[in-house]
Structure 1
């Protein structure tokens, strides 16, 4: 074994003095508990653990939120009154058409033949009426001649009666033919209307939003008119908003309302409530009422079936003194009702104060009396929070002392 190794072994075998180790342990524990010399130790105060916010001025709106769907205010489904084959379609989807524009044409062959036949039958009846009228005039003349001759006893009474009956019969036949002519004219008018119906025109100006038929398709109009196209006026839209049964009692006709779309969340359209439908609908066991309001769409940014995020404005205050709702510590928290807050002063002192509320929302409230702009109100902590923090600090100090004593005993 070398001399150097033997020297190291003797140093390691030398006993360590316990007082030195004990002193080092106590010093280290004191540094850990009290902090390094020269380091500042924070002192507890009333404001410790208190979160406060300043009273600011802002616009406050109490709103009812809902979801809605956009629909055209005016739309019409254009169909055909007659059966037939669709010969030609003159419009396309998205095309803007004026009123009375030609939309489609049906095959008019059969209807044209029916009109021609009705016209021919009408002419035949008119000819018969003319013939019967001439005969009736002749029978009337013979009856009048016999009446003159009967005074001179030139004709018999029987001949006079026969001529009188013939005159009346001819007049009746003329009237019957006149009625048949009127009926034929009515039938002709119906046939001509059916023929005109083969050319389908737009009943209103708008945009073609749907086409339900194709060229060459046979349309049968027995019980219900087949729909060919749908036209909608996209210049003015209606929002169908779904409002829950809890919020619908607060909806009033004429109430201001605004909404935005998913495509333009930063743009808002304004309107007023026009109608609340009386019958609700149930969606996943949730009762919803439809609330309708209209809005102009001059630039065409709104389209049918778009989703709308709707806000019904119950109350609105501009430039109001606003505090967080979490600052309220008493009262009902309802609009136009008194409540209590804690005001934090610059010296850390807390002051309980009664305030009068105005507009109330889920997160913020308007203070109409009791606070001034710039004052700070406690939103978390406060007197109770300070007492709780003090109790926590008192509970923490014995624990630290106990730990130090235990560590000391181990040595």
Structure 2
């Protein structure tokens, strides 16, 4: 019996044809292979965006008093040192009182002499007054006696004023604390001479209360439109890099500072320092919170800066032309986004971003953005939804292909 008959060959051909058709059908049902993307992307999500203004400032006491001396002399007693807590009226140092005591005795002697001269002038005046009444002397003699009496009285007042000044100099030789506080600086030593001839020397610096501090900082003119008194702030210092401290804006000062044509304004922030961890003079890196919006649609801010290269644009145009579709116009260079912090009247802006389509190709999308910081930007409107992938930059391998 022959192995290959017509019937068997026909059956074999039918089986092969059916298998080929089945394989083709299965292949047609398989999802198309999506090429690997040439770009790095991030998901569009929803969350909170906080807009801040950054600045660098110095921590200072709220009240810092310079204690000086109105008189000159040699320090004979020093009763306060660095970091000492002092009370108002407490003695800080004493100057040598020898010269001041001598001046008081000298003025007292002058006062006694003036009083003796006044008694003599009074007696002469009374005598001449009786003689004039009896017509023994002329009225001119009485006028002269009256003048001498007035001069004597004036000399007494002068001596009394000199005595008061000498006593004040003696009192000022004892330097006292003008407020309750902490001595943070001392510039005088025992035995040193204080010279107060032309300017008042600063002997001590006293901080009123180190549990309440302030940050003196400066803010760029571009950011002042978003600032308001009472706004919250956060800051860090180098001494405690892992800890963030809270503050609040107390005052915006109108006087502008211009350095090399750069305009800044002074801003003062209040800081609670109950643990006294913050010290005068520390440098603070400050973030002022000027805007906060919860649960908004947002994209990474880096997506605003991404642009297709010239080679990619040219390739896309050729592809569109080969497919018989009109080539898209080359987009005009977008306005440079410096990711600076802006005031409320600048929050609505139009930008072009790129998202990945179903074939992992870049597709341009126009969006309107709101609040922005260094990480995220709010999307107010546009063809973006939660879960879309926006391009942030090209892969290194993709750049090498062009």
The alignment's TM-score, normalised by the length of structure 1, stands at 0.69
Aligned to 2:187: 212
Partner of 1:268: 245
Please list the CA deviations of residues 148-180 of structure 1 after superposition, one character each: whole Å capped at 9, or x if unmatched.
xxxxxxxxxxx3xx2423322221111000111
Shift of 1:270: 2.0
Q: Unaligned stretches of 5+ in structure 1?
A: 1-41, 147-158, 396-411
Q: Indicate the residue corresponding to 1:62 in structure 2.
A: 51
Corresponding residue for residue 113 of structure 2: 124
Partner residue of 2:93 out of 98, 104, 127: 104
Deviation string, structure 1 residues 261-296 (Cα, Å, up to 9, x no partner):
1223432332325226533446xxx95746231313
Calculate the aligned-residue CA RMSD, in Å. Answer: 3.4
CA–CA separation in structure 1 for the residues paired with 2:57 and 2:378:
29
1:278 paired residue among 242, 256, 263? 256
Alignment of 1:239-318 (within 5 A): 239-243=215-219, 247-252=220-225, 254=228, 256=231, 257-265=233-241, 266-272=243-249, 273-275=251-253, 277-281=255-259, 289=264, 291-299=266-274, 300-318=276-294
Among candidates 301, 306, 321, match of residue 297 of structure 2 = 321
Specify the alignment match of 1:339 in structure 2: 351
Contact 1:236 / 1:294 at 8 angstroms: preserved in 2? no
User: Structure 1 residue 315: deviation in Å?
Assistant: 3.6
> Separation in 2 of the partners of 1:231 and 1:212?
12
The structure having more radius of gyration, on CA atoms, is 1
* d(CA) in 2 for partners of 1:135, 1:83: 44
Task: Report SS of the residue matched to 1:279.
Answer: strand
Q: Distance in 2 between matches of 1:221 and 1:91?
A: 20
| Aligned counterpart in structure 2 of residue 237 of structure 1, from 213, 232, 240 | 213
> 2:334 matched to 1:359?
no
Q: Give yes or no for contact 1:327–1:377 (8 Å, CA) kept in 2.
A: no
CA distance in 2, matches of 1:71, 1:371: 50
Query: Greater shift after overlay, 364-373 or 126-135?
Result: 364-373
Q: CA deviation at 1:187?
A: 0.9
Match of 1:377 among 376, 386, 389: 389
Provide closer, same or farther for how the CA distance between residues 367 and 353 of structure 1 changes in structure 2, counting only shifts above 3 A: same
Q: What is the Cα deviation at residue 349 of structure 1?
A: 9.1
Q: How many residues align?
A: 327
- Could you say which residue in structure 1 is the equivalent of 2:79? 90
Deviates more, 1:182-191 or 1:308-317: 308-317
- Of the structure 1 ranges 172-181 and 111-120, higher mean CA displacement relative to structure 2 is found in 111-120
3-state SS of 2:134 partner:
helix
TM superposition shift of 1:323:
0.9
**Structure 1 pair 278/48, CA: closer, same or farther in 2 (3 Å)?**
closer
Q: Following superposition of structure 1 onto structure 2, how do residues 154-165 of structure 1 map, counting pairs within 5 Å?
A: 159=136, 162-165=137-140
Alpha-carbon offset, residue 374 of structure 1: 3.5
Q: Which residue of structure 1 aligns with residue 323 of structure 2?
A: none
CA-CA distance at 1:250 after TM superposition:
2.3
Change (3 A) 1:320 1:206: farther
In the alignment, the residues of structure 2 paired with residue 189 and residue 89 of structure 1 have an alpha-carbon distance, to the nearest angstrom, of 26
Distance 1:87 1:281, change over 3 A: farther
In the alignment, the residues of structure 2 paired with residue 381 and residue 216 of structure 1 have an alpha-carbon distance, to the nearest angstrom, of 71
| Distance change >3 Å, CA 358–CA 53, structure 1 → 2 | same
Unaligned runs of 5+ in 2: 1-30, 307-330, 338-345
CA positional deviation for 1:370: 3.8
